[in-house]
Structure 1
Amino acid sequence: MSYVSLTPTRGEVPRDTLVRWLNEYLNVGAFKDPSLNGLQIEGTGTVRRVAVAVDSSLKTIQHAADSGADLLITHHGLFWGDPLALSGPHRERVRTALMADLNLYVSHIPLDAHPVVGNNAMIAQALTLQNTEPFGEWADGKIGIAGELPFEQSLQDFADRVQKLTGEICLVHGGGRSPTVRRLGVLSGSGAGSIAEAAAMGLDTLLTGEPEHKHFHDAFEYGVNVIYAGHYETEVFGVRALAARLEDEFGLAWQFLHHPTGL
């Protein structure tokens, strides 16, 4: 049964109501993920203002606290499966959130994979991909999107288009058998390992975030163009789209905290 939120006051939501809605909307239990998805730090019981960001760094958490946010939603959280001592920088991140009574909610793979507000869905929409299908194997499913551009573009023209979209200077590996782009796979973040999958699907180009040395030769040996647009810059889309969805659903004010890594 679909969860229906009942908010007594528009723009003011009980934390637990919001967390239940997020968990269901993002389908957080459907993904095998090293990230501890969901509410990682419990803060104030009422949410009026939301901040969203890619990373849960100390700078981001402090920025959220200083901005008066009650809830910070990030793509990369603080807990990744293994126990981690509350010492050093990790202690400072947690302490800063607790001192500010700030809730921290994290959505990693669920936000990459979401068909409406996901990183890959938003990039595909911005690039006007058509005839889309699942792409990018993760565990027992796919979290990316493949599709066709409305018209063929040169690799350089397409890379320039991506650069305007992300604001990041792209690294281009022209390994494709053709110097043009028409059939494209989109996989935000660390998607270099999907070059072989792109080739098997007949895609001429893969758009992803960051390169990996062990996959450098794959582009040229499998005959696939690869555009690396930045791990950070390919993952700003989901948190912003999710925040806009919360504004529509609950009337919550929100802001995006931009702390780029250059990677």
Structure 2
Amino acid sequence: MTRTELGRYLSKFLQVSQFKDYAPNGLQVEGRAEIKKIVTGVSASQALIAKAIELNADALLVHHGFFWKGEAEVITGMKQRRIKALLTHDINLFGYHLPLDAHPMLGNNAELGRKLDISDAEAVEGVAQGLIWQGRLDTPMTAQDFSTHLAKVLNREPLHIGDDSAEIQRIAWCTGGAQDYIDHAADLGVDAFISGEVSERTYHSAIELGIHYFAAGHHATERYGIQALGEHLAREFDIEHIFVDINNPV
């Protein structure tokens, strides 16, 4: 498969044109034309790039790539070292942010709902570009038991805001740094909202809105979409795929 073919396929498959995003989606650093091996990971850190080099990858496919709005435009320091490593080893970097969060089949939200055994999982239409999902537990759980369930699935202890002994069943979620969507979740009438990160203001919002909040980790909640995307490409095309999980407790 060529670099151009891969970029074109992913742009259509992930419906990139439908999203207003904070970074470019698609090819961010150009490498070799032919792609036979892809390494996937959550963020294009130096550690992940080093692993892609070690594995002789033709392309690195990530959720968090480069060139975010508001960052310095000059290529110096950390950014220079990362880009230099990719260019020196002729490795393509593809990044897909919101399109990967929202994808209905294998996006971060869809995959998290599956991992947590949430039934009737679906995106909330007309709100936040379809990034908020909702569903229900087949059997109600106490908030403490659900927190334990989250920790077991994600291998990370979540922060829970709310009464541990209260029962929850209807749940909304949005992976990553979506704590400020808690207002939208409360409007849905759900019992709890899950995201990755937490802010000081989130505590007060949860208490005053009467909704449980679980901060389950930005990295932990977004490991699954990029992995599922790589597996999809390996099934559809003659491409080798390796997922690399660089530990990140945040």
Q: TM-score, normalised by structure 1?
A: 0.90
Please tell me the root mean square deviation across aligned C-alpha atoms, in Å: 1.6
Moved more, 218-227 or 59-68: 59-68
Distance 1:117 1:133 in 2: 12
Amino acid at match of 1:64: A
The residue number in structure 2 matching 1:202 is: 189
Match of 1:135 among 109, 113, 124: 124
**Superposed CA offset, 1:113-142 (max 9, x none):** 00011000011122232233323943xx22
Match of 1:220 among 207, 222, 237: 207
The residue number in structure 2 matching 1:160 is: 148
**Is 2:174 aligned against 1:187?**
yes
**Superposed CA offset, 1:219-240 (max 9, x none):** 1110111111100010001100
Cα contact 2:110–2:121 (8 A) shared by 1: no
SS, match of residue 177 in structure 2: coil
Distance 1:29 1:105 in 2: 16
SS, match of residue 120 in structure 1: helix
Match of 1:249 among 236, 241, 244: 236
Cα contact 1:175–1:220 (8 A) shared by 2: no
SS, match of residue 132 in structure 2: strand
Match of 2:158 among 139, 153, 170: 170
Deviating runs (4+, > 6 A) in structure 1?
none
Distance 1:239 1:261 in 2: 15
SS, match of residue 182 in structure 1: strand
Distance 1:226 1:135 in 2: 18
Amino acid at match of 1:113: A
Cα contact 1:37–1:108 (8 A) shared by 2: yes
Q: CA deviation at 1:175?
A: 5.7
Moved more, 79-88 or 28-37: 79-88
Unaligned runs of 5+ in 1: 1-12
Q: CA deviation at 1:169?
A: 1.1
How high is the sequence identity, in percent, across the aligned residues? 32
Q: If each structure's strand is expressed as a fraction of its own residues, which one has the higher value? A: 1
The residue number in structure 2 matching 1:8 is: none
SS, match of residue 181 in structure 2: helix
Amino acid at match of 1:148: R
The residue number in structure 2 matching 1:107 is: 96
Amino acid at match of 1:70: D
Cα contact 2:3–2:34 (8 A) shared by 1: yes
**Is 2:15 aligned against 1:27?**
yes
Unaligned runs of 5+ in 2: none
Q: CA deviation at 1:207?
A: 1.1
Number of aligned residues? 248
The residue number in structure 2 matching 1:145 is: 133
Amino acid at match of 2:91: L
Cα contact 2:119–2:138 (8 A) shared by 1: yes
Q: TM-score, normalised by structure 2?
A: 0.95
**Superposed CA offset, 1:49-73 (max 9, x none):** 1101111111111211111111101
Amino acid at match of 1:182: Q
Matches within 5 A, 1:68-79: 68-79=56-67
Amino acid at match of 2:19: F
Cα contact 1:43–1:103 (8 A) shared by 2: yes
Moved more, 52-61 or 103-112: 52-61
Amino acid at match of 1:45: A
**Superposed CA offset, 1:69-99 (max 9, x none):** 1110111111113561011111111100000
Match of 2:222 among 227, 235, 256: 235
**Is 2:30 aligned against 1:42?**
yes
